[in-house]
Structure 1
Amino acid sequence: MRKKITSLSNSLIKHLLLLQKKSKLRNSENEFVIEGVQELTYAIQAHYKLKQVLVCNDVFETTIELTDLDCEVIEISKDVFEKIAYRSSTGGIVAIARAKSLSLDHLRFITKTPLILVAEAPEKPGNIGALLRTCDAANLDAVIIANPKTDLYNPNIIRSSVGTVFTNKIAVGSTSEIIEYLKINNINIFAAALQNSSSYLQEDFTEATAIVVGTEHEGLSESWRSQAYKIVKIPMEGKVDSLNVSVSASILIFEAKRQRLNK
């Protein structure tokens, strides 16, 4: 008979709630929370190891076959589900999973001309989620986060990325570590910045390429600009001189994809 939790004071429920809120606990325990059918499906396909899957039968609607899961499956009451769920429309399923290493050393490419997005110090989960959705749509070879402000297993990032945090190859590191990695692997750095830049439409992105974007307010650090193969900009014809980082990244990424399709 499957275990059932009906009490909000249950120790596992308390632990799950803390994992949702505290980055330090996620890092120390190497665990995080996944909510939603689509998000969990992507995590399973990416071979994330699940510890517990909590299911509310009152709202459970999914094609996920629970008997195939290699973990403990626990039934929870509707009251418990409503306490731990951020959204009501996620299929009545929440899981605790093991985090994967996101070190640069774990990146592997199947092509000699990878296309990579590097985002320096993104802070807003919504922006990070939008970046990850774009990279998934473009089927990039990797996404690298430089000097991250939050861990990638933040529930808000998982939610805003609609699970593409699991479908992308992701690594994190310091700006200096990532620059060294790109240089060693002969990957051209195209830094998106206004200073001493040329239009992105004049550049060739068909070789091994890292498109590097910064935040709207801070832009890219001098380290990226000084080490860049080319500094590129998106010409602006209106009053503003910058776009949302996810919009800028999308424009540059899909121009690179267009060039590669036409090569």
Structure 2
Amino acid sequence: MNKEITSVQNPYIKELYQLKEKSRDRKKSGLFLIEGIREISLAIKGDYQLETILYNPELCSVTQLNGLITQQQTTIEISKEVYQKLAHRDTTEGVLAVAKTKSHDLKNIVFKSESPLILVAEAPEKPGNIGAILRTADAANVDAVIIANPKTDVYNPNIIRSSVGCIFTNQIAMGSTSEIIAFLKEKQISIYCAALQASEVYTTQDFTKATAIVMGTEATGLSNEWLQHATQNIIIPMQGEIDSMNVSVAAGILIFEAKRQRNFL
């Protein structure tokens, strides 16, 4: 591998551009791009394996790379033109990493306590919402984020950007709604579904035991399968004219009520 690449027509750069643009290429190769010093640092902390570090010396000094090169990666100096081809954001520090994806099977979840707090999102589509949910989960230090019936590749650059790297700080799993319900029941985790039907106000519930808070999309809410298996449906009382709010905002309200009950432990 060349240690310096200056042309956007370089075959390796073309491959990386496809990783940036296409979920299919990310899934096929098991690789994805990370952009920015903070995000790469969080990926390293989250035990993601980095294959390659690419940097533009006009934007990023070798000194800034010192904290990032902790594994046996290839390091490649790239021109500003190549960097701009691969970068997803206009204002970043001139450094990218090629990282290996992780398995997000339910069986890989490890709980650190007997009363875990889990955030479940069913069929989220908008990368901005997914990123915001991951930021909320990180802020509350939940035990896991589980995505049911995923519609979007979790390594989509927009999700990495909007999560400000919290994709790497959360324990994330994915599966079908049926698989996740079976998993939660097997682990004896209570299921609280945010829904309008047959609901009780969220502050009346006990979230100190093993708890999963389940969120649907703003457009369609949760599927009937979740509602049929809920321990209890819960609602955030609305005092305005509309009957719903942004899913990441609602998730934050519910999760932090659970944290309040747990004395933020």
**Could you state the TM-score of these two structures normalised by the residue count of structure 2?**
0.96
Aligned-partner SS, 1:109: coil
Runs (4+) of structure 1 exceeding 3 A deviation are 61-64, 66-69
Tell me if the contact between 1:146 and 1:173 (Cα under 8 Å) persists in the aligned partners.
Answer: yes
Give distance in 1, aligned partners of 2:98 and 2:59: 19
Give distance in 1, aligned partners of 2:170 and 2:263: 21
Percent sequence identity is 56
- 1:153-203, Cα deviation, whole Å (9 max, x unpaired): 111100100000000000000000000000000000000000010100111
Aligned-partner SS, 2:135: helix
| Match of residue 159, structure 1, among 158, 161, 165 | 161
| Match of residue 257, structure 2, among 242, 249, 255 | 255
Question: Which residue matches 2:182?
Answer: 180
Matched, 1:234 2:249: no
Give distance in 2, aligned partners of 1:117 and 1:88: 32
Give distance in 2, aligned partners of 1:78 and 1:262: 45
Which amino acid is the alignment partner of residue 253 of structure 2? I
1:186-205 equivalence runs, <5 A: 186-205=188-207
**Could you state the TM-score of these two structures normalised by the residue count of structure 1?**
0.97
Which amino acid is the alignment partner of residue 114 of structure 1? P
Aligned-partner SS, 1:261: coil
1:83-102 equivalence runs, <5 A: 83-102=85-104
| Match of residue 126, structure 2, among 121, 124, 127 | 124
- 1:209-242, Cα deviation, whole Å (9 max, x unpaired): 0000000011000000000001000011110000
Q: How much has 1:86 moved relative to structure 2?
A: 1.6
Question: Which residue matches 1:225?
Answer: 227
Matched, 1:29 2:29: yes
Q: How much has 1:262 moved relative to structure 2?
A: 7.6
Q: How much has 1:34 moved relative to structure 2?
A: 0.5
Question: Which residue matches 2:51?
Answer: 51
Tell me if the contact between 1:2 and 1:73 (Cα under 8 Å) persists in the aligned partners.
Answer: no
Q: How much has 1:12 moved relative to structure 2?
A: 1.1
Which amino acid is the alignment partner of residue 52 of structure 1? T
Which amino acid is the alignment partner of residue 238 of structure 1? G
Matched, 1:107 2:126: no
Single out whichever of 82-91 and 105-114 deviates more from structure 2. 82-91
Give distance in 2, aligned partners of 1:75 and 1:115: 43
Tell me if the contact between 1:32 and 1:99 (Cα under 8 Å) persists in the aligned partners.
Answer: yes
Give distance in 2, aligned partners of 1:242 and 1:88: 34
Question: Which residue matches 1:244?
Answer: 246
Which amino acid is the alignment partner of residue 181 of structure 2? I
Tell me if the contact between 1:190 and 1:230 (Cα under 8 Å) persists in the aligned partners.
Answer: yes
Aligned-partner SS, 2:242: coil
| Match of residue 208, structure 1, among 205, 210, 227 | 210
Q: How much has 1:68 moved relative to structure 2?
A: 3.2
Which amino acid is the alignment partner of residue 229 of structure 1? T
Question: Which residue matches 1:41?
Answer: 41
RMSD between superposed Cα atoms in Å: 1.5
**Structure 1's 142 and 16: CA in aligned 2 closer, same or farther, altered over 3 A?**
same
- 1:19-69, Cα deviation, whole Å (9 max, x unpaired): 111111111111111011111000011111111110100000574415533
Aligned residues: 263
Aligned-partner SS, 1:254: helix
- 1:64-119, Cα deviation, whole Å (9 max, x unpaired): 41553321000001111111112232211011110010000000011000000000
Give distance in 2, aligned partners of 1:68 and 1:201: 45
Aligned-partner SS, 1:69: coil
